[in-house]
Structure 1
């Protein structure tokens, strides 16, 4: 009995240690990437300030990157547990499935690029985007270049998901490549047009994809694309893919909702929200990437032991992350004006802009504790293949954001748009806690 108890304690400690090691490593890589992202934002703020070019670029980039974000989230959620299963049950199937999934990503990416070019172009031409006329004109000029991000982004996130499934966290560090190219283009080509932003983004995404493909090719883990879907693993893949796709589409649509609300608040509103969200994303991204990439492989590998063993582990980490979110929220509130001034206040970005963006950032901070803890609970739900919960969390998040914006944006303006995110993540954290504590 004593031996069994000791074994259980050692196993639990080993898992805590595995999560902690992954958390520290991924957090370090993510922090380096976010610092590069901050340098890019400094360059953009110096060159453009709150100009219409930033409104147009941010509006388009958000629309184009929306399906990429959905694809990335779904792949991470479905592919990591599936890869663990394939390695244990039928590793010989892995090369064929990789080739077929690559072929699907190529076809899907090219189709999405064409669709985005037609639909967004029509929306801008008909004046349905809600953008002021100068920003709408700039967005039309930038659209042909930015739609190239769709095939590039889908292929990049696919290779990144395979690296994560293999337990290689260096892909997190490579995420900073696009930001380096954007900053270099903005500083190297001092033009008042939107072109340096557009083509710096395209070049950065291209080099990011190449940086992921070359190591996989050297390890002989990169197959030629196959455009058939005959692998038996597709049955398992589609079981999680469809429901996850719906949930992530709804949850990530909150970002698109914010863009349209901000577009109706006048010139500079999208840029203001964008600058605040970039600083906020330094914190949110650090937590989301580190927590998800550290916990999901551990939870997935231990999934056969069932929720009775894993739920206390997940709940403990969720509580710890909630407390960490509270501490981070108070610290960020104190440092907000200093951080915004340090990052952006130069060139076309003045002290008045710092005050406005700092206020928006502070209104967005209350979401942190709920967001931090919900990331752990999401990883636990994915490891248990409870994809229906992810779908309903997307429904709850989307409805909460719509209602939050409707109630707060009219009275608080862009500050209300930022504050409404607390409704989204607060309700989601409560939803996961109530549903996951009961065994499926």
Structure 2
């Protein structure tokens, strides 16, 4: 919900930072978050390969996916899985004060509340696992069970699963359910560290999560089967949460279970809840409308379309995570502090402008490079076994249409962070509802003409609409966003990225002629040689064009790699 920004906080605020300091800090934070994202995705990919090698496309893997999806969805919906919208802006206000005692009190209340809620949900999942799985898969009758661990015929029929698969899913859910407690606690602790602008440990939490799954699976799965992977999931959740304690120097927390009424009356906690309600609404709309609509269209327009959509979305999310997500997380604590004082409105505009310009300098060349190399990249990753060259071609078309929208999506994430920093989560939710309507209308209009591909075109249009409306609303609210500098950066970056794209295309054709992509080595050459040349060329052009945000990012990346 929207809140009025206080014009003069009573509590002393930490000293303002110069624009140069903010810009350098943004570049450093983005670098840390991007490296953490790369590590997480690489280890996540290793995890998927390991699962496929050990178990294949089996009943065991299906049961494991069900067992981790349920606590993960509950984490998203009930325990503030998307906490940047609510927790970070409010905690940043308390973190900006010289006296941090109220921050520790609020975080203590948050941790206590999250432990209570997640603990109750874990008990329900553990003792009523058959019901939970059946409800997740269908709509069973509420016939009482003789035992919480029983498998009644009604539950089996409603789930659409065999007795063996259903029983295995229930057993695995009991193993993975406690992960909800650790993931939820991690979410609060990470939000606090973001508010304190300590990015390193939250950035690498997901990487450690996946690493623990890989290590535990290698150690236990050969002996005890898929249960070893479930234990790895728990170990990963515990490790991810525990890592955050390393960044909590000077933090003083205490559990407040015995003072629940007092805890719930904390104004900061109430504000977090109010800010989260519109976000929760958008999550529910996504689950109830957007996903069913998209999957229904995909399934009705051809075999394999859902798989194309899923895989292409995962590939698209890689540059989005490295750029859009990383910068939006890095910029939010600073924007939230600057939004506290009307005297810092200019600084707020400058920080947001720096973030948008940095996003443009990174996401546009990434999108164009991936657009050009979509075919070779998909061939390298997927063209094995039953995945044919025709499948590669079809999926490349899907990916390219998705990529058209990611520059808009990346900028949009920063604009959404600007709303959240102003304690306004209602406006992004309403804009999201409008853009979802545009997505559905465009899909239905194009469906008779281009079929399944209408979903990808509509998705890119949705991001364009959301970004445009958000930009206009913020521009009006902030009396401008430095339009000339943004336009100048966009023109320079687009020109350099197009030149890079042409060069990458030509080099890729030359490599394909010299080394026809018949084996793994040739496919690696076809992807990495043009990619490396394109990155080097873009680096050169960016330095010649004096793209300051890009220069700061490269410097921060170089320093971080040297330390590492």
- Asked if structure 2 preserves the Cα contact closer than 8 Å seen for 1:149 and 1:205, the reply is yes
Q: Equivalents in 1 of 2:240, 2:138: separation in Å?
A: 32
Q: Which residue of 2 aligns with 1:372?
A: 410
Which residue among 187, 200, 203 is the counterpart of 1:172? Answer: 203
The separation in 1 between residues aligned to 2:400 and 2:167, in whole angstroms, is: 33
2:118 matched to 1:109?
yes
Q: What's the offset of the Cα at 1:299?
A: 1.4
- CA deviations on 1:118-145 (whole Å, 9 max, x unpaired) are 45522425489xx995699857743524
Deviates more, 1:115-124 or 1:428-437: 115-124
2:27 is the counterpart of 1:20: yes
CA 100–119 in structure 1, closer or farther in 2 if over 3 Å, else same: same
Contact kept? 1:48, 1:192, Cα under 8 Å:
no
TM-score (ref. length: structure 2):
0.64
Tell me the CA shift for residue 103 of structure 1.
1.3
Output the CA distance in 1 between the equivalents of 2:336 and 2:326.
16
CA offsets 1:400-440 (integer angstroms, 9 cap, x no match)? 45556666678867655555432432222112111111227
Point out where structure 2 has 5 or more consecutive residues left out of the alignment.
Answer: 1-16, 141-154, 479-564
Indicate which of 135, 152, 163 corresponds to 1:122.
Answer: 135
Q: CA deviation at 1:340?
A: 3.3
Cα distance between partner residues in 2 of 1:109 and 1:292: 27
Q: d(CA) in 1 for partners of 2:358 and 2:246?
A: 38
Per-residue CA deviations over 1:342-374 (Å, capped at 9, x if unaligned) read 445557867666555544433322221111101
Alignment RMSD (CA, Å): 4.2
Q: Using the alignment, how far apart are the partners of 1:204 and 1:269 within structure 2?
A: 32
2:108 is aligned, of 99, 114, 117, to 99
Q: Distance in 2 between matches of 1:269 and 1:197?
A: 29
1:161 is aligned to 191
1:333/1:41 CA distance change after superposition, 3 Å? farther
Cα distance in 2, alignment partners of residues 401 and 395 from structure 1: 10
Bigger-Rg structure (1/2): 2
The answer as to 2:278 corresponding to 1:246 is yes
Q: Tell me the TM-score normalised to structure 1 length.
A: 0.79
Q: How does 1:89-238 map to 2 (within 5 A)?
A: 90-113=99-122, 118=131, 120-126=133-139, 138=165, 141-142=168-169, 144=173, 145-170=175-200, 171-184=202-215, 189=221, 195=227, 198-213=230-245, 216=248, 221-226=252-257, 228-230=260-262, 234-238=266-270
Q: Structure 1's 236 and 220: CA in aligned 2 closer, same or farther, altered over 3 A?
A: closer
Question: Could you say which structure has the greater relative contact order, defined with CA pairs below 8 angstroms and 6 or more residues apart?
Answer: 1
Tell me what 2:489 maps to.
Answer: none
Q: 1:223 to 1:310 in 2, by over 3 A?
A: same
**Preserved contact between residue 247 and residue 393 of structure 1 (Cα < 8 Å):** no
Instruction: State the secondary structure of the residue aligned to 2:107.
Output: helix
Aligned residues: 430
The unaligned stretches of length 5 or more in structure 1 are 1-9
Q: Does 1:265 align with 2:299?
A: yes
- 1:388: how far off? 2.3
Counterpart of 1:5? none
Q: CA separation in 2, counterparts of 1:101 and 1:331?
A: 43
Q: Distance in 2 between matches of 1:219 and 1:149?
A: 27
85-94 vs 415-424, which moves further: 415-424
Match of 1:68 in 2: 75
Matches within 5 A, 1:400-419: 400-403=438-441, 416-419=454-457
Equivalent position to 2:326, from 265, 281, 290: 290
Cα distance 1:411–1:157, how it changes in 2: closer, same or farther (>3 A)? Answer: farther
Separation of aligned partners in 1, 2:315 and 2:192? 29
Q: Deviations over 1:132-167 (max 9, x none)?
A: 956998577435245444333212211211221222
Once structures 1 and 2 are overlaid, which stretch shifts more, 231-240 or 295-304? Answer: 231-240
Which residue number in structure 1 is paired with residue 369 of structure 2? 331
Asked whether the equivalents of residues 195 and 333 of structure 2 are also in contact (C-alpha less than 8 Å), the reply is: yes
In 2, Cα distance between equivalents of 1:262 and 1:55 = 19
C-alpha contact 2:109 2:269 (8 A) present in aligned 1 = no
* Greater mean alpha carbon deviation, residues 185-194 or residues 273-282: 185-194
Contact 1:25/1:169 (<8 A) preserved = yes
Q: Does 1:276 align with 2:312?
A: yes
Give the secondary-structure state (helix, strand or coil) at the position aligned to 1:176: helix
Residue-by-residue CA offset, 1:266-315 (whole Å, 9 max, x unaligned): 98665554433332222222224311222112212322134344224424
The answer to whether the 8 Å contact 2:107/2:188 transfers is: no
Q: Secondary structure at the match of 2:198?
A: coil
Residues 389-398 or 99-108, more deviating = 389-398
The 3 A distance-change label for structure 1 pair 58 and 324 is: farther
Change in 2 beyond 3 A, CA 1:67/1:315: farther
**Displacement after TM superposition at 1:250 (Å):** 1.0
Which residue in the other structure is 2:359 paired with?
Answer: 321
Q: Distance in 2 between matches of 1:74 and 1:20?
A: 23
